[in-house]
Amino acid sequence: MTDNNDIVKPIIGLEIHVELATETKMFCRCRNSFGDPPNTNVCPVCIGMPGALPVMNAKAVEYSIRVGLALGCEAPDFTKWDRKSYYYPDLPKGYQLSQYDLPLTVNGHIEVLLEDGTTKDIRVLRAHLEEDAGKNIHDNPAHTGVDLNRAGVPLLEIVSEPDMNSAEQAVAYGRAMQRLVRWLGASHANMQMGHMRFEPNINLHITRDGVTFKTPIIEVKNLNSFRALENSIRFEIDRQYAQWTQDNSYTMENFPKQNRGYNDATEQTVFQRGKEEAHDYRYFPDPDLVPVLVDDEWRDRISASIGELPLARRERYIDEYGMTFKEADALTMDPATGDLLDSALAGGSDAKRCVNLLLGRGAAIANERRCTIAETGITALQLGQLVQMLGAGEINATAASRIFDILVDSDSAAKEIAQKEGLLAVTDSDAIETWVQEAIDANAQAVEEIRSGGKKSQKAFGFLMGQVMQKSRGAAPPARVKELLDAKLGQ
């Protein structure tokens, strides 16, 4: 709640930590795998044994550069590794291998879609590579355990400029970044598995009577859901303004930066500690790792692997096929689903019918199986065959849905399934007329309601249509059924 005379502008930057989808860790050959028994994916390197030397994971570097280039970042020719020194139980070496002044990629941007349909361009300051820490386990009330399976997993830290001004914008940015890293294959970005974590930096610019006051910058640590990201920012905006209204000296000149945690149960942030500055970490170049030299050939090869990005593909779907924004957005959530559609369309299939099937039965099955539409199992060839049969009138929409359900678990052709299941459209006029007459004879009340022309007539007509389709097992052409019902009932 703000004073009517105050202009309050939230200033929000976001650090996103993304675990990369490599087979092994960043500086050793231990498995990068979630859910394994504690402390089974460890070795002398990732538990910090004296004399154990790190070796860089080139795949993690390539993933990081790919994300940076997709964000429009520069990938400098020279970068290096630094030791970021701090003590914590899940960091056995006493330092984290990271990048300080010479990150892998710098100065990019990403356009995000907001709920009101507008877009906002958010600058990316840097995307640097480092190793993740382990995990403290608090399941036992008598002690805290430490699981080092995650220690040393490659972690890409994407740091935005403070270009966001609301919780909505921060969440939209986070969702856009999640889609991008998944699209590029760089990360699974599953927040339940800790693959993606958020740390927003928040303060307020409050203007009263022409004078602007800036509250201290607060960083909220280790958020693992979009809900936590949104709620923590909203809470911080309200908390900082309330504190400033009580004490106008609550400004960055008088109060230091601060780290706070987020409590899911209370939906509030809580003080943790004062925020460290760069000099507190005593950064210095790691003596055990050589610098990373990126030449034009390597950079160009990574750039060529990026392909069409989700925003560009979404715009293409809208422009070329007349899809709604919602349809195009749903079909560009992952590259494989879009590739499935593109392959079907390349075979001459009708775009509208493909979209309807993919976002109808395809999306429903994907939701049931907790997978993407592409992962349901239908192939582009099967989808194209199904759409062509539908367009030729060989099957109707109800039959197409039933065939789709079978195709996802079958290698058979669509027509083969239609024949086997008796779903090919019936063109025998006598058979169709028989089904129509049987439905009329068996449903006198519905017939009366239709002929009366009252409020229930439309519903009754739909009921009779359904009865005919049921008798024909979906094989009767709906247009012909409607035509015969109209003629027989004098409509």
- How high is the mean pLDDT in each 10-residue block of the chain (491 residues)? 81 98 97 94 92 95 97 97 90 93 97 87 97 90 92 97 97 96 94 94 95 96 96 97 95 94 94 82 93 96 94 93 93 94 94 96 95 95 94 86 94 92 76 84 84 80 85 75 82 62
CA angle 256, 260, 263 (to 5 degrees): 160
Residue 266 φ/ψ region, left for φ over 0, alpha for ψ in the -120 to 50 degree band, beta for the rest? alpha
What is the torsional sign of CA 352, 356, 362, 366?
positive
Angstrom distance (rounded) from CA 263 to CA 249: 27
Residue 422 φ/ψ region, left for φ over 0, alpha for ψ in the -120 to 50 degree band, beta for the rest? left
CA distances from 376 to 47, 327, 410, 414 (A): 40, 18, 11, 16
What's the pLDDT at 261?
95
Angstrom distance (rounded) from CA 204 to CA 218: 10
CA angle 176, 180, 182 (to 5 degrees): 120
Every domain of the chain and the residues it spans: 6-296, 308-420, 429-488
Residue 267 is encoded by which pair of tokens? 């939906």
Q: Give Cβ neighbours of residue 81 (< 8 Å, ≥ 6 apart).
A: 56, 97, 98, 99, 285, 286, 289, 291, 292
What is the torsional sign of CA 101, 104, 108, 112?
negative
CA distances from 127 to 43, 131, 340 (A): 28, 13, 31
Give the predicted TM-score (pTM) of the model.
0.83
Q: How far apart are the first and last CA of the chain?
A: 61
What's the pLDDT at 2?
61
3-state secondary structure the chain: CCCCCEEEEEEEEEEEEEECCCCECCCCCCECCCCCCCCCCCCCCCCCCCCCCCCCCHHHHHHHHHHHHHCCCECCCEECCEEEECCCCCCCCCEEEECCCCCCEEEEEEEEECCCCCEEEEEEEEEEEEECCCEEECCCCCCCEEECCCCCCEEEEEEECCCECCHHHHHHHHHHHHHHHHHCCCCCCCHHHCCEEEEEEEEEEEEECCEEEECCCEEECCECCHHHHHHHHHHHHHHHHHHHHHCCCCCCCCCCCEEEEEECCCCEEEEEEECCCHHHHCCEECCCCCCEECCHHHHHHHHHCCCCCHHHHHHHHHHHHCCCHHHHHHCCCCHHHHHHHHHHHHCCCCHHHHHHHHHHHHHHHHHHHCCCCHHHCCCHHHHHHHHHHHHCCCCCHHHHHHHHHHHCCCCCCHHHHHHHCCCCCCCCHHHHHHHHHHHHHCCHHHHHHHHHCCCCHHHHHHHHHHHHHHHCCCCCCHHHHHHHHHHHCCC
What's the pLDDT at 491?
62
Q: Give Cβ neighbours of residue 467 (< 8 Å, ≥ 6 apart).
A: 439, 442, 443
What's the pLDDT at 427?
66
Residue 83 is encoded by which pair of tokens? 């030791």
Q: Which residues pair with 95 in a beta bridge?
A: 85
CATH architecture of 429-488: Orthogonal Bundle (1.10)
